[in-house]
Amino acid sequence: MSRICQITGKKRMIGNNVSHSKRRTKREFAPNLKNKRFWLEEENRYVTLKVSAAGIRTIYKKGLKTALEEAKAAGLINIY
């Protein structure tokens, strides 16, 4: 699972570079991914996730355990 956020499911998008003359060439929009360690209080251990900036905000808002359960239900991660 390269370049996919494990919490939100964000992945790369394909679009166009548009020049001044309106000539279009393909380009990629990459998500803002970071490898980040989170402390999982319930299991007394660290969990390393590849998450986007929006995913980090989601974890801080909902809590790590809830975010992991939702991601597992959505099929974004198998085991954490």
Residue 31: φ, ψ to 5°: -70, 160
Mean pLDDT value across the chain: 95
What's the pLDDT at 49?
Answer: 97
Q: How many CB atoms lie within 10 A of CB 27?
A: 12
Instruction: Give residue 35's Cα distance to chain centre.
Output: 10
> What is the arithmetic mean of pLDDT over 5-10?
97
Confidence category of residue 2, pLDDT binned at 50, 70, 90: confident
- pTM for the model stands at 0.86
Please name each of the domains of the chain with its CATH number: 13-74 (2.30.170.40)
> What is the arithmetic mean of pLDDT over 47-62?
97
Residue 20: φ, ψ to 5°: -60, -35
Q: Residue 3 gets which letter from DSSP? A: T
> In the chain, where do the E strands start and end?
13-18, 24-29, 33-40, 45-52
What's the pLDDT at 9?
Answer: 97
